[in-house]
Structure 1
Amino acid sequence: MQKIKEELLAKFIAVFGSGGQITPYFAPGRVNLIGEHTDYNGGHVFPCALTIGTYAIARKNTNRSLRLYSVNFDELGVITVSLDDLSYAKEDDWANYPKGVVWAFAEKGMKLNAGLDILYFGNIPNSSGLSSSASIEVVTGYILSQTFGFNTSFVDIALISQFAENKFNGVNCGIMDQFAIAMGKKDHAIFLDTSNLEYEYAPIQLEGAKIVIACSNKKRGLGDSKYNERRTECETALEELKKVVAINTLGDLSEEQFEQYKDAIKDDVRRKRAKHAVYENQRTIQAVNALKANDIATFGKLMNESHVSLRDDYEVTGIELDTLVATSLEQEGVIGSRMTGAGFGGCTVSIVKEEAIDSFIKNVGEVYLQKIGYKADFYVVEIGNGPCIL
């Protein structure tokens, strides 16, 4: 981390010039261990922050402008926008995420009294489902809070970042990604009830096993994927269910209640979507209880069931993720495996015994390359803290 920091400070000066108070920041990426597509359905999620994420170097300027530069998108150069004209522009590409956060802070009454120069570098694979967009949003929110003295908690930063993604970038994401990144705690996952933001930290003790992420390298974009379509299907199913049972969200239902009332949902596809939301929420609760009981085998079994539901009922996996999971489950030492993130590409998360990790990566990688035609990338990850000044 120190080497990256020094290199980025030098790059910042090369891009923006020296002088002023230059401050380096970091916010993590996240992986969700279980509880997928439940966060906008009032259910539970179980994500953790990672030690990979987004680095940012920031300094005030006197131009009343945002000057944004990403090492990852060097070919786009510095993107400059006026603080007085913060609107979405397709040509600004990645910069719409930090722009959206500045806009959202202003919408919440926290307007900047000076411009900012910010250089970003992310070591999260883009479009991987490890929340590179939420990571850049949260690190930007943290920069604004620290630089301008805004009285914002980490929960506030998560909520403002979600507001920015929903209203500025037009992606109907739930709160999980931003919350997990803002509230990350080393060696713990966050058991979060998305209906009321009640949460608890659960220590992750895998005893001789590690979390291995496999990136499918199939690119996806949330806004133009079927993410918003799935959300609408669930919202419609919820309205149908409300006519026969007193609930506020799909997460309010037990599996038994869903089976009792499911015929109120008049479309087979919507019924499958709602079933996933209800059953996945219950799986997540069971998985955390298993972890507390040190029952890693049950936790892994529930991960596997989660993937099947995402494949068959929610239909967000695809051949790339299905190949990774199916091949992973054929390997020695694998306790559980599932897709993670929104789907339609992105990553899988597996729990693998340490002595089997090398062969796991080799074998799964070879099968994936042969079947899909391009390679997957693998990351043995650690669970890290939330945003910080470096």
Structure 2
Amino acid sequence: MITNLIKTFIELFGDSNEEICTFFAPGRVNLIGEHTDYNGGHVLPCALEIGTYALVRKTANPFIRFYSKNFPETGIITVSYDDLSYQEQHGWANYPKGIIAAFQQLCPIETGLDILYYGTIPNGAGLSSSASIELVTAVMLNELFAQHIDMLELVKMSQKVENEYVGVNCGIMDQFAVGMGKRNHAMLLNCQTLEYRYLPVSMNDCSIVIANTNKKRGLADSAYNERRAACEAALAKLQKHINIASLGDLTSEQLEEYKHLLSPLEQKRARHAVTENERTLEAAAALEKGDLARFGELMKQSHISLRDDYEVTGTELDTLVEAAWKHEGTIGARMTGAGFGGCTVNIVKDESIPSFIEQVGKEYAGKIGYEASFYVVKIGDGAREIAEAKEMSV
């Protein structure tokens, strides 16, 4: 595949004696801990082997040229260093533009760049294609211009770009999982302190299966920001009576004691944030014990809370998850990502995967009217340069 990407790169941008460098950043799936990251709670994501490739070459031009094989209709997008502002017509290219603008503040980039992107993450699936393109660009610039910036700082930079440049008020989980991923490990991350530890994932003849609803939804256009605002309002009210920095500091018992301070809607939103944080910690303990059955039970509880208290699932996600729960090979199933479409994450017995895909897919198509897509995924490493690709580019 890298050989074909190099060929496409040369066809697009022409030949040159300058070296073409190749970088990769994964997508991510969150096993449990949804909508807890911006509430100061814990999450349990892992990086995937699917992700975003970026091929880049320095040029003598005073501009950057972007091209995505996933969006060929946009053609080559040319951007001057004098104007790296957000432009709606640039679509996907605003994510790498934002990273370049952030880098420009650290060290002026005094060379042109030709960049080809190719993503193997399904578009709009909720597997963090945006964080993947941000981190692949950040790692690329860090390496090309020898800035020696720590990965965690690149993660923070990427989150800031998504918050302030793109305008999506996301927490740090997506960028963290993409940047800090480790093969065959999940990451238990405290999103308030950024303390984390790697947990080996032993699937015991099971695999992670991602099911994509194929319902398109834009994160910035969703009710995501409304949910966050409700949690922030609840926190502000609670902080007048209890010493907490975030909802992640709160226990279920404390929330029950002080819930009269909150509106009915704020109670529901806060209850999800608090109980999901508790479930995530219990799920991490179950994973360390190799207790996949308990992990699966907690996944189910997570989805029910996201459906009833946070109200971010919808017919498509609920249909996929409920069909999965009925299948005899399912250990656990829940929505993952922001919601309102996107994907479910499922732990399925290997021997049952073909019938799982067939039966769940049939039930979904029958009720929704179009098909879901299924991906059996492996847990991979975080964002990095693909060193072996260098020889191919010479």
TM (norm. structure 2) is: 0.97
Q: What's the offset of the Cα at 1:115?
A: 2.1
**Counterpart among 342, 366, 369 of residue 362 in structure 2:** 366
Equivalent position SS for 2:71: helix
Equivalent position SS for 2:235: helix
Equivalent position SS for 1:317: coil
Q: What's the offset of the Cα at 1:388?
A: 2.0
Within 1, Cα distance between the matches of 2:77 and 2:59?
14
Moved over 6 A (4+): none
Equivalent position SS for 1:167: helix
Within 2, Cα distance between the matches of 1:223 and 1:143?
26
User: What does residue 9 of structure 1 align with?
Assistant: 6
Instruction: After superposition, give the CA deviation of every residue in 1:31-54 in whole Å (9 maximum; x if it has no partner).
Output: 000000000000000000000000
TM (norm. structure 1) is: 0.98
User: What does residue 23 of structure 1 align with?
Assistant: 21
Q: What's the offset of the Cα at 1:290?
A: 0.8
Q: What's the offset of the Cα at 1:154?
A: 1.2
**Structure 1, unaligned stretches of length 5 or more?**
none
Within 2, Cα distance between the matches of 1:263 and 1:15?
62
Whether 2:271 is the aligned partner of 1:294: answer: no
Whether 2:343 is the aligned partner of 1:347: answer: yes
Q: What's the offset of the Cα at 1:64?
A: 2.4
User: What does residue 169 of structure 2 align with?
Assistant: 172
User: What does residue 325 of structure 2 align with?
Assistant: 329
Q: What's the offset of the Cα at 1:168?
A: 0.5
Instruction: After superposition, give the CA deviation of every residue in 1:197-241 in whole Å (9 maximum; x if it has no partner).
Output: 100000000101110000000011111111111111111110011
**Counterpart among 224, 230, 234 of residue 233 in structure 1:** 230
What one-letter code is carried by the residue in structure 2 that aligns with 1:307? H
What's the RMSD between the two structures over aligned residues?
0.8
Residue-pair matches, total: 385
Within 2, Cα distance between the matches of 1:65 and 1:225?
34
User: What does residue 32 of structure 1 align with?
Assistant: 30
Within 2, Cα distance between the matches of 1:284 and 1:145?
33
Counterparts of 1:126-205 in structure 2 under 5 Å? 126-205=123-202
1:110–1:229 distance in 2 versus 1, CA, 3 Å? farther
Within 2, Cα distance between the matches of 1:260 and 1:112?
55
**Counterpart among 339, 347, 357 of residue 353 in structure 2:** 357
User: What does residue 44 of structure 1 align with?
Assistant: 42
Q: Is the 8 A contact 2:139 2:385 kept in 1?
A: no
Instruction: After superposition, give the CA deviation of every residue in 1:92-142 in whole Å (9 maximum; x if it has no partner).
Output: 0100010011112234x2331222111000010011000001000000000
What one-letter code is carried by the residue in structure 2 that aligns with 1:126? N
Within 2, Cα distance between the matches of 1:65 and 1:263?
57
**Counterpart among 253, 264, 286 of residue 268 in structure 1:** 264
**Counterpart among 280, 284, 305 of residue 280 in structure 2:** 284
Within 2, Cα distance between the matches of 1:297 and 1:244?
39
Within 1, Cα distance between the matches of 2:62 and 2:190?
39
Q: What's the offset of the Cα at 1:362?
A: 0.3
User: What does residue 90 of structure 1 align with?
Assistant: 88
Q: Is the 8 A contact 1:44 1:281 kept in 2?
A: yes
Within 2, Cα distance between the matches of 1:110 and 1:344?
39
Whether 2:102 is the aligned partner of 1:124: answer: no
Within 1, Cα distance between the matches of 2:107 and 2:265?
43
What one-letter code is carried by the residue in structure 1 that aligns with 2:75? G
Q: Is the 8 A contact 1:9 1:24 kept in 2?
A: no
What one-letter code is carried by the residue in structure 2 that aligns with 1:227? Y
Q: Is the 8 A contact 1:45 1:192 kept in 2?
A: yes
Equivalent position SS for 2:32: coil
Within 2, Cα distance between the matches of 1:104 and 1:268?
41
What one-letter code is carried by the residue in structure 1 that aligns with 2:219? L
What one-letter code is carried by the residue in structure 1 that aligns with 2:199? A
After alignment, is 136-145 or 112-121 more displaced? 112-121
Within 1, Cα distance between the matches of 2:243 and 2:261?
13
Q: What's the offset of the Cα at 1:151?
A: 2.2
Within 1, Cα distance between the matches of 2:332 and 2:231?
27
Within 2, Cα distance between the matches of 1:376 and 1:61?
42
Equivalent position SS for 2:166: coil
